[in-house]
Amino acid sequence: MSRFRQPSRVRKVIDIPQELAASQQEYNGEAGRAFIAGLPDLTAAFLDRWDLTVGGRPMHGVSALVLPVTRRDGTRAVLKLQLLDEESEGEPVALRLWDGDGAVRLLDHDEATGTMLLERLDSSRMLAHQPDIHESVLVIARLLAHLTSFTAPAGLRRLGDIAQDMLEQTPGALERIPDPEARRVVADCAAAVREVVDEPGDRLLHWDLHDENVLASARAPWLAIDPKPLAGDPGFELWPALANRFDADDIRWRFDAMTDVLGLDRARARAWTYGRLLQNSLWDIEDGRPLDEEQLEIARRLRPPRG
């Protein structure tokens, strides 16, 4: 989950923000360094290819550079340049299917590099600026209810495959969790996923719809951006809104509100939400990081009532 930040300097075409270069090196190693090295030429090539004029200061997240541009006909847009991987390669597929209905509109796409031309939304009006967290959660829930009404197209990553892989990794990962209570929480999450893994769902999922990935526009109050799409159960979508602006006492309200709006079976939604904690925990363990206490608390708070 990342907030777009302004780089410190901008040259004639582009100056690579140091934070973007650092994150690419951290997460993608040599491939990330190669992407950063080629980014100025890549940017210049697509400004020329799509006849674009730079129309503002560039922005960036953890993995992508986003450059405000204007097309020859005056249309305001953004040029998004990112390293092509298994997450980003599905983004244009999902955006084409949604076709601007609940999400940013895709204007052009280069399959070889993953570069996209997108409609320009109002980055100054982000859902994260909404002071009422309950309203923010409901906005996300309503967007998810619409976006996940689409059947996922063939070729996307599939939740069933991801879940099976997580379950295979779990026994070894549990041995690396020193705290018995944390180990028990993660083991319980894995057990919940085992109960639903044979029915992973076929909906088109955004996967990362938190309040910094929802922007306002002139044509719609709120639109989703930056999907990392996969095919699966909508219950796998709830985690970001539970974890964003963390409040332990509000977790149950958020979960109940979102499952109501999406019309989800709560037991299944709980199991797939536990799947997100399992996924995050496996990544933390692999990278040698301690488990996140706030994330563990989400799992504790979602435990069904006894009896």
Q: Whose structure tokens read 């998004």?
A: 80
Catalytic choice (208, 211, 226, 284): 208
Q: Nearest to residue 141, comparing CAs of 219, 250, 255, 230?
A: 255
The two three-digit tokens of residue 82, written as one number: 């990112």
Computed over its alpha carbons, how large is the radius of gyration of the chain? 20
Is residue 249 annotated as part of the catalytic site, yes or no?
A: no
Contacts of 196 (CB under 8 A, 6+ apart): 233, 268, 271, 272
As annotated, the active-site residues are: 208
